[in-house]
């Protein structure tokens, strides 16, 4: 069988881990015993996120994104991060604007005026995978295989600027696209409920929460609410990730702010507008100083920059609860 | 009694897009404008259409008004038939269950190839950089019929896209299949703020089918950087109806975030 490689190997930089290396990490470094893992965001990010890491997260700055963890990464001034930006919105501009991220695997590059200019200026490298391509890479990482085939990406320029490969499918004889597995260093998941061991529940849709937790070397869960383990045993259909995938649990009410947490609080569109309006480094610097550097942590951010009145209002606006309970 | 109605080019584009959707079919809906088109269609014309979103909401009955900028938010996923995630959402299109896909675009070429990545320069050093594919590539690759919704501006209708993000008919007949894309798929209609286009069966080139009532073919074609084929009998598209405008303005987008645009008039 001829293997027809259209792309030449090594032309485009990509993150890849041999599945056996990942398995050995799981064997040796991931604990199986249900020990309490409740820590502060500061401790979780200090312990589990290193300079140069590849980070992936579920959902976006507008809906159930891990915004308190992203802000903590910025506060700790992590460097040279590579972001898996599936459906990313304001996370990419903030991480690039703060000098934390230098590479982005793009599904959706980001929202607002700032990030496109950063790419044009060459301040951040972008690789095009598409949302479906990145989701499949994470699924491959989660299935312990080196790649998965797909019938999209074919025929497009995305093929030339990612490390996707076209070969001849041994079964049909047609061209088929392969995407390499992705095993990020860290996954962030913001969830509705978690217990102290890391069992976690998302109510509503997700992008690839379980896949990302399975595929990543380290997993930080931030949760609106900490509940008893018994809650999971009563309704196991609703468990999104089991505790042994998770390295740290952070209690973070309003952790998705300024985005919406379905059934808990609504999106703060006025705050989002401020993010969208950022056009240059000065505005970005001001935003980051005011909302991230000048407050010690997420609680102080909520107290001083959001306020109890605003939070009450956003909670009141979250009128859609059907399906989320 | 004939009377003059006022509307924006965007309102017209949304209204004519909504009229194209068939009831009882499935449609994979892209970010932004396509969401509004699908909402208007479902509200007025096709109550039994099943919308699918890439973050895994299947068959939602979205709460109005539309919350600008959001797609995965609770309003947009309300009363879905199923909630899943992205790998599963794309499974529904990959196996052929999605009749229609609907996407916006920065640029489109005569074969319906879509650019949503960058304008000008090169990929490594673009003049202007945009969001990229998102899930658009998967929608355009796998849905049976893709509808592209795009403002009618010369800089958007180009002989060759600056970056081919989502596949149309690539470089002509048979090219999709040769590249490995599923048989029988591809762009179906291009809905613009002035006209409606299809694709010629033989050459797969974009073909002008009809124009907004009151516009001439020349007025439509002069705003394109390539010359489309012309259907033998070019039809006329009625302007937005009172109902379409009312639902758009009062129920879907009262803040006029999406529907604002260039003012147009028509005699009705």
Token pair listed for B160: 């060759």
Mean pLDDT of A273-284: 96
Q: Quick one: B172 exposed, middle or buried, by C-beta within 10 A (0-12, 13-18, 19+)?
A: middle
Tens of pLDDT, residue by residue over B12-70, are: 999 999 999 999 999 999 998 999 999 999 999 999 999 999 999 999 999 999 988 78
Q: Quick one: A305 exposed, middle or buried, by C-beta within 10 A (0-12, 13-18, 19+)?
A: middle
Beta strands in chain A (DSSP E): 54-57, 81-85, 101-106, 125-128, 147-150, 165-168, 175-180, 186-194, 200-201, 218-226, 248-251
Mean pLDDT of A272-297: 97
Helix-strand-coil percent breakdown of chain A, rounded to 5? 35, 20, 45
**pTM here?**
0.96
Alpha helices in A157-307 (DSSP H): 209-215, 229-234, 269-276, 281-288, 298-301
Tens of pLDDT, residue by residue over B145-179, are: 999 999 999 999 999 999 999 999 999 999 999 99
A contacts of B90 (beta carbons < 8 Å): 132, 135, 152
- Least CB-CB distance to B55: which of A126, A175, A207? A207
Distance of alpha carbon A40 from its chain centroid, rounded? 19
How many degrees, rounded to 5, is the angle at CA B87 between CA A148 and CA A102? 75
- Least CB-CB distance to B72: which of A59, A139, A269? A59
Q: What was the pLDDT predicted at B235?
A: 97
Q: Quick one: A243 exposed, middle or buried, by C-beta within 10 A (0-12, 13-18, 19+)?
A: buried
Mean pLDDT of B253-261: 95
Inter-chain contact B85–A208, Cβ cutoff 8 Å? yes
Mean pLDDT of B210-227: 96
pLDDT at residue B2 above 90?
Answer: no
Element containing residue B114 per DSSP (H, E): strand B114-115
Tens of pLDDT, residue by residue over A222-243, are: 999 999 999 999 999 999 999 9
- pLDDT above 70 covers what percent of chain A? 97
B100 forms beta bridges with B27, B145
- Enumerate helices (H) and strands (E) in chain B, giving the number of each: 7, 16
- pLDDT above 90 covers what percent of chain B? 94
Tens of pLDDT, residue by residue over A155-193, are: 999 988 999 999 999 999 999 999 999 999 999 999 999
- Least CB-CB distance to A108: which of B127, B131, B182? B131
Of A115, A251, A124, the C-alpha closest to A192 is: A251
Exposure on the CB side of residue B264, measured as CA atoms within 13 A: 24
Task: Compute CA distances A172 → A169, B63, B174, B179, B237, whole Å.
Answer: 6, 44, 17, 13, 44
Position A251 confidence tier, pLDDT thresholds 50, 70, 90: very high
Cis, bond preceding A302 (omega within 30 deg of 0):
no
ipTM of the complex: 0.96
Tens of pLDDT, residue by residue over A59-117, are: 999 999 999 999 999 999 999 999 999 888 999 999 999 999 999 999 999 888 899 99
Q: B247 — phi, psi (to 5°)?
A: -65, -40
Mean pLDDT of B207-214: 97
Mean pLDDT of chain B: 96
- Terminal C-alpha separation, chain A: 53
Cβ-Cβ contacts under 8 Å between A and B: the total is 193
Q: What was the pLDDT predicted at A2?
A: 45
How far is A205 from chain B, CA to nearest CA, in Å? Answer: 5
Token pair listed for A204: 């509503």
How far is A276 from chain B, CA to nearest CA, in Å? Answer: 10
Q: Cα–Cα distance between B152 and B191 in angstroms, integer?
A: 9
Q: Cα–Cα distance between B124 and B147 in angstroms, integer?
A: 29
A113 close to A135: Cβ distance less than 8 angstroms: no
């Amino acid at each position: 069988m001829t293997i027809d490689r259209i792309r030449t190997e090594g032309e485009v930089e990509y993150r890849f881990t041999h599945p056996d290396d990942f398995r050995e990490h799981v064997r040796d470094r991931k604990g199986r015993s249900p020990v309490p893992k409740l820590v502060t965001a500061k401790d979780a990010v200090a312990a589990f996120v290193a300079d140069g890491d590849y980070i992936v997260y579920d959902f976006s700055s507008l809906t159930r994104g891990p915004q308190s963890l992203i802000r903590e990464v910025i506060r700790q001034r992590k460097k040279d991060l590579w972001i898996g930006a599936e459906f990313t919105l304001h996370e990419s501009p903030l991480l690039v604007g703060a000098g934390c991220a230098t590479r982005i695997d793009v599904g959706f590059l980001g929202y607002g005026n700032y990030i496109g200019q950063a790419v044009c200026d060459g301040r951040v490298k972008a690789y095009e995978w598409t949302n479906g391509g990145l989701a499949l890479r994470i699924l491959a990482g989660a299935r312990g295989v080196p790649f998965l085939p797909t019938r999209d990406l074919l025929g497009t320029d995305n093929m030339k600027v990612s490390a996707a490969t076209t070969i001849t499918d041994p079964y049909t004889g047609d061209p088929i696209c392969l995407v390499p597995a992705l095993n990020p260093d860290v996954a962030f998941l913001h969830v509705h409920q978690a217990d102290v061991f890391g069992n976690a529940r998302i109510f509503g849709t997700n992008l690839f929460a379980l896949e990302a937790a399975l595929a990543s070397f380290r997993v930080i869960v931030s949760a609106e609410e900490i509940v008893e383990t018994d809650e999971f045993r009563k309704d196991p259909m609703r468990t999104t990730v089991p505790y042994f995938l998770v390295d740290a649990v952070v209690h973070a009410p309003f952790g998705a702010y300024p985005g919406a947490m379905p059934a808990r609080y609504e999106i703060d569109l006025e705050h989002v507008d401020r993010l969208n309006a950022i056009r240059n480094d000065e505005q970005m610097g001001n935003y980051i100083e005011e909302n991230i550097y000048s407050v010690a942590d997420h609680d102080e951010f909520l107290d001083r920059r959001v306020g109890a009145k605003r939070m009450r209002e956003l909670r009141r606006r979250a009128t859609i609860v059907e399906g989320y309970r | 009694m004939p009377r003059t109605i006022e509307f924006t080019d965007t309102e017209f584009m949304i209204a004519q897009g909504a009229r194209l959707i068939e009831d009882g079919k499935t449609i994979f809906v892209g970010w932004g404008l396509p969401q509004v088109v699908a909402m208007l269609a479902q509200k007025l014309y096709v109550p039994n259409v099943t919308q699918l979103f890439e973050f895994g909401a299947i068959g939602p009955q979205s709460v109005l008004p539309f919350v600008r900028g959001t797609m995965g938010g609770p309003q947009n996923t309300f009363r879905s038939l199923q909630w899943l995630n992205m790998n599963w959402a794309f499974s529904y299109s990959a196996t052929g269950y999605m009749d229609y896909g609907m996407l916006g675009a920065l640029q489109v070429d005569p074969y319906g190839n879509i650019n949503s990545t960058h304008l000008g320069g090169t990929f490594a050093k673009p003049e202007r950089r945009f969001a990229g594919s998102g899930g658009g590539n998967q929608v355009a690759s796998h849905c049976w019929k893709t509808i592209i919704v795009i403002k009618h501006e010369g800089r958007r209708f180009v002989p060759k896209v600056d970056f081919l993000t989502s596949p149309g008919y690539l470089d002509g007949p048979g090219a999709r299949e040769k590249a490995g894309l599923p048989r029988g798929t591809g762009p179906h209609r291009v809905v613009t703020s002035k006209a409606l286009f299809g694709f010629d069966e033989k050459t797969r080139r974009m073909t002008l089918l009809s124009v907004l009532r009151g516009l001439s073919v020349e007025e439509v074609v002069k705003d394109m950087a390539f010359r489309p084929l012309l259907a033998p009998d070019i039809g006329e598209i009625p302007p937005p109806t009172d109902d379409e405008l009312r639902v758009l303005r009062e129920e879907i987008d009262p803040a006029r975030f999406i529907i604002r645009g260039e003012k147009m008039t028509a005699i009705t």
